[in-house]
Structure 1
Amino acid sequence: MVNPNPYTIVPMHERPDLLKETSRLINSQWPASERRRLRTLEASCDNFPINLLLLKDNRVLGHCRISRMPSKEDSCFIETFVIDREYRSQGLGSKLLHAAGELMSKKGIKNSFLSTKGQEKFYSKNGYKICETADIMPGLDRVVPSHQLPFKKINPLPKISGPPPPPMPRNRFLPQTVLLYPGRTHMLKHL
């Protein structure tokens, strides 16, 4: 008999044998060193961060990394979300996103945030709404005056004369931009 649902979704820490394959999938979308990828994938645990894998016959077709938001106890942030290019437009992204939402709900999470550039339609179809900038890591989206930094300046930079740089472009969906994720649309789903 043919399995009617050949896809499974499992946490990365239950399948450490798939670390390198998952790293290759993520790097196909956002290139980075394998060492860096493996370190973030190995951090997966039952609490957070959690790396979810979408598998078919033990082949990694999708990945979703979910982390807690220190600034909001009842919220998580989807850091990475990718489906293998060969398998896109088949509903697999929605399947993985739905499973991520169910997992967050079971763990008492009430809000799921993410940022995207160009995939707003996909996330909207899956219940996400454009929102104001999420304070993902308190303090990282603000410029801190040098006198408030926790270290002493040793060699000051030379003063540069000339006109100031042009203003940062505004996000066409929101009234503000974020230094942490410039040019990206922030979205929220209440779970």
Structure 2
Amino acid sequence: MKDTPYSVVPLHKRMDLTRQCAKLVNSEWPRSETARLRSLYSSCDKFPTCLVLLDDTNVVGHCKISLVPNMCDCCFLESVVIDQKCRGRGLGSLLMRRSEEYVSKRGITKVLLSTKGQEEFYKKLGYRICDPLNLHENSYREKDSAHSTPQKQSNTTTSIGPPPPPMPSILRNTSLLFSAGKTYMMKNL
């Protein structure tokens, strides 16, 4: 398999691979096929974009890239997965490198992700642990206990106008929200 040429392509350029991709992603994070396909069909040039790693014509890897709201130079990677039969061959590193190249060509300089149990893999690729992204502040910090200080919160509340509208459904169901047990990591490109 080492001699096999691998390619990474945006899923929306190869919609014929959508069902294979859904099966791969569902093998790691089960969802209904309908829900998974709906998510994959959202892939486009302007983000979110699903990238697939191909071995000839078979999907062996997947990565979804979404922009971080109000931060044009920042993206969030999710659903990064390599087919179980193909793991341990450097394909995860290849998919990550190609994903970083893809976003870098589009002006993105910061990559965020969340993981549970794969922290060492991402550290080897240059990612550092950071605090979860706060969608309300659009900020994140690297974890550094020597320099971290609790933020004072104001007790004064000023209400002007009606409450904000509900968060768009694309954000309500995304990994950008706080998730218990996950480690958040970031890398500057």
Q: Please tell me the TM-score bracket, short chain as reference.
A: 0.7 to 0.9
SS of equivalent residue, structure 1 residue 37: helix
Q: Which amino acid aligns with 1:188?
A: M
How many residues are aligned here? Answer: 158
Determine the structure 2 residue equivalent to 1:156: none
Asked if 2 retains the 8 angstrom alpha-carbon contact of 1:62 and 1:82, the reply is: yes
How far has the Cα of 1:67 moved from its partner? 0.2
Determine the structure 2 residue equivalent to 1:62: 61
Where structure 2 has 5 or more consecutive residues not aligned to the other structure, the ranges are 138-161, 167-175
Determine the structure 2 residue equivalent to 1:95: 94
Q: Which amino acid aligns with 1:68?
A: L
Q: Which amino acid aligns with 1:184?
A: K
Q: Which amino acid aligns with 1:116?
A: T
Q: For 2:165 and 2:22, how far apart are their aligned partners in 1?
A: 35
Q: For 1:75 and 1:49, how far apart are their aligned partners in 2?
A: 12
Question: Could you say if the C-alpha distance between residues 77 and 55 of structure 1 is closer, same or farther in structure 2, counting changes exceeding 3 Å?
Answer: same
Where structure 1 has 5 or more consecutive residues not aligned to the other structure, the ranges are 140-146, 152-177
Determine the structure 1 residue equivalent to 2:8: 9
Q: For 2:20 and 2:51, how far apart are their aligned partners in 1?
A: 13
Q: Which amino acid aligns with 1:183?
A: G
| Rg (Cα) greater in structure | 1
How far has the Cα of 1:71 moved from its partner? 3.7
Determine the structure 2 residue equivalent to 1:108: 107
Determine the structure 2 residue equivalent to 1:186: 184
Q: Percent sequence identity over matched residues?
A: 48
How far has the Cα of 1:138 moved from its partner? 3.2
Determine the structure 1 residue equivalent to 2:159: none
Asked if 1 retains the 8 angstrom alpha-carbon contact of 2:133 and 2:177, the reply is: no
> What is the TM-score normalised by the length of structure 1?
0.76
Asked if 2 retains the 8 angstrom alpha-carbon contact of 1:9 and 1:53, the reply is: yes
Q: Which amino acid aligns with 2:180?
A: P
Partner deviation per Cα, 1:127-171 (whole Å, 9 max, x = no partner)? 111012212x438xxxxxxx95769xxxxxxxxxxxxxxxxxxxx
Question: Could you say if the C-alpha distance between residues 150 and 57 of structure 1 is closer, same or farther in structure 2, counting changes exceeding 3 Å?
Answer: closer
Determine the structure 2 residue equivalent to 1:29: 28
Q: For 1:179 and 1:74, how far apart are their aligned partners in 2?
A: 19
Q: Which amino acid aligns with 2:123?
A: S
Tell me which moved more, 3-12 or 71-80.
3-12
> What is the TM-score normalised by the length of structure 2?
0.77
Asked if 1 retains the 8 angstrom alpha-carbon contact of 2:132 and 2:178, the reply is: no
How far has the Cα of 1:122 moved from its partner? 0.5
